[in-house]
Amino acid sequence: MSATHRYIIRRLLQAIPAIIGIITVFFILLNIAPGDAIDVLAGEAGTANPEYMERLRQLYGLDRPLYIQYLKYMWNIINLDLGFSYRHQMPVIDLIIQRLPATLLLMGSCLTLAFTIGTLLGVVAARYSGTGIDYFTTFVSLFCYSVPVFWLGLMMIILFSVKLGLLPSGGMVTLGAGYSGLAWFWDIVKHLAMPCASLALLYMAVYTRLMRASMLEVYDSDFVRTAHAKGLSARRIAIRHVMRNALLPVVTMFGLHTAGVLGGAVVVEVVFNWPGLGRLAFDAIFARDFNLLLSICVLSSILVIIVNIAIDLIYCLLDPRIEMH
């Protein structure tokens, strides 16, 4: 077994206590909150008498002590059973499978766009430090960072959908259009453009400032001065020597943003009616659908752990001096 495989297995084993702790904390927090799914279901049915509500609680096992519910939920997790959604009347795993691709598409597009553009702008700002280009990128990044995501999303809808009519205001596909092939792909791209841009601009600003500061720090290193003394071109030094070393803190921030982007995706998915896990979690809160909400939280935590393991492996590729322990 290679060192990489041993490292991955060790990190996955270390993640098990963290996942158990996350499940425990979320389970307690959700169950001490006032109300439950039965209150919502009975209220919507218009039959909120005590006998009917008690029968529902017995049906769904909500009348049992909290520790029994917790042990049952943990046993179900071990058996890869995420429970039943009281609100949607279907298994939670089926709901998540339906909504997960939309969220992964939004998150992946957002982080890829933000990382690529932010890194490039940071490189340009560092190369032309103290010039008008540097001041302009600084202004753009600070502006993007300071604008609230939900406000930016609403302004985009007003401008590009209402005023100009260029992009759809919400959803993931045009309902009833029946597109296929390239037309279907282009329809998704048009629906994705505004949600992705409104969420990516915030993270792009962070990557721009961080990449600029990191590159300026690396430019002051001894090995960069040695490269200049050897007669290497400024472009080659920037790309082959400075940029590779400056990427380490940016990659670290990228890993941290995988956790934060899901929280931002909740806001964006609600504003643009994007059919992802964020919108599903938002609806689950109001419906007191704790099985669904807890499963989304657990899945998000596992996703963050996996991404952080991948980030550690990328570290070793960027800097061979870093060893996996």
| Lowest mean pLDDT across 190-199, 234-243, 261-270, 316-325 | 316-325
- Pick the more confident residue, 100 or 312: 100
What average pLDDT does the segment 94-99 reach? 87
Task: State whether 86 and 104 are in the same domain.
Answer: no
Residue 167 is assigned to a structural domain of this protein: no
Report residue 212 as tokens. 């600029």
Q: How many CB atoms lie within 10 A of CB 126?
A: 23
Residues 127 and 242 in one domain: yes
Top pLDDT among 14 and 325 is at 14
Domain boundary among 28, 63, 92: 92
Output the average pLDDT for the chain: 80
Q: Which of 26, 61, 92 is the last residue of a domain?
A: 92
Is 235's pLDDT higher than 80? no
Q: What are the Cα distances from residue 59, in Å, to 29, 74, 287?
A: 23, 19, 18
Q: Taking 70 as the threshold, does the pLDDT of residue 71 lie above it? A: yes
Q: So what's the pLDDT on residue 145?
A: 85
Residue 259: per-residue pLDDT: 67
- Output the pLDDT for position 10: 80
pLDDT tops 70 at residue 208: yes
pLDDT at residue 58, rounded to an integer: 72
* Residue 13 located in a structural domain: yes
**DSSP annotation of 84:** E
pLDDT value at residue 237: 74
pLDDT beyond 70 at 164: yes
pLDDT at 264: 67
In-domain check, residue 83: yes
CATH code (residue 127): 1.10.3720.10
Question: Which span out of 39-53, 141-155, 174-188 was modeled with the highest average pLDDT?
Answer: 141-155
In 3D, which of 262, 226, 219 has the Cα closest to residue 242?
A: 219
Six-digit token pair at 281?
Answer: 């979690």
Helix (H, G, I), strand (E, B) or coil at 166: coil
**Residue 133 sits in the same domain as residue 210:** yes
Considering the domain architecture, whether residues 37 and 58 belong to the same structural domain is answered as yes
d(CA 187, CA 162): 18
Model confidence over 240-269: pLDDT tens digits?
777 777 777 887 788 777 766 776 677 888
- As a whole-number percent, the residues of the chain with pLDDT over 70 amount to 86
Give residue 44's pLDDT.
Answer: 58
Q: What is the pLDDT of residue 52?
A: 67
Q: Which domain does 212 fall in, by range?
A: 100-148+199-318
In a domain, 176, yes or no: no
The most confident of 27-36, 226-235, 270-279, by mean pLDDT: 270-279
Residue 28, token pair as written in the block: 């307690």
Same domain, 88 and 137: no
Note the pLDDT of residue 278.
Answer: 81
pLDDT at 279 over 60: yes
Q: pLDDT-based confidence at 199, cuts 50/70/90?
A: confident
Q: Is residue 179 part of a domain?
A: no
114 and 225 inside one domain: yes
**pTM, to two decimals:** 0.78
| Number of domains making up the chain | 2
User: Is 144 within a domain?
Assistant: yes
Distance CA 143, CA 174 (A): 32
Confidence band of 183 (pLDDT split at 50, 70, 90): confident
Classify 81 as helix, strand or coil: coil
Does residue 85 sit in the same domain as residue 219?
Answer: no
Position 134 scores a pLDDT of: 86
- Whether 117 and 138 map to the same domain: the answer is yes
Same domain assignment for residues 230 and 84 = no
Q: What is the mean pLDDT of residues 164-173?
A: 85
* pLDDT score of 287: 74
Tell me whether residue 180 is in a domain. no
Average pLDDT over residues 280-301: 80
Across 29-108, the runs of DSSP E, i.e. the strands, are: 84-85, 90-91
219, 306: one domain: yes
Please tell me whether residues 24 and 85 are part of one structural domain.
yes
**pLDDT for the residue numbered 323:** 59
Helical residues (DSSP H) of 178-324, grouped into ranges: 182-219, 222-229, 234-236, 243-271, 277-287, 290-318
Residue range 87-100: average pLDDT? 84
Residue identified by tokens 């909504």 is 99
114 sits in the region (left: phi over 0; alpha: psi -120 to 50; else beta) called alpha
DSSP β-bridge partners for residue 90: 85
Return d(Cα 74, Cα 24) in angstroms, integer: 9
Question: What percent of the chain clears pLDDT 90, i.e. is strictly above it?
Answer: 2
User: Looking at the domain assignment, is residue 156 inside a domain?
Assistant: no
88 and 119 belong to one structural domain:
no
The last residue of one of the domains, among 92, 114, 136, is 92
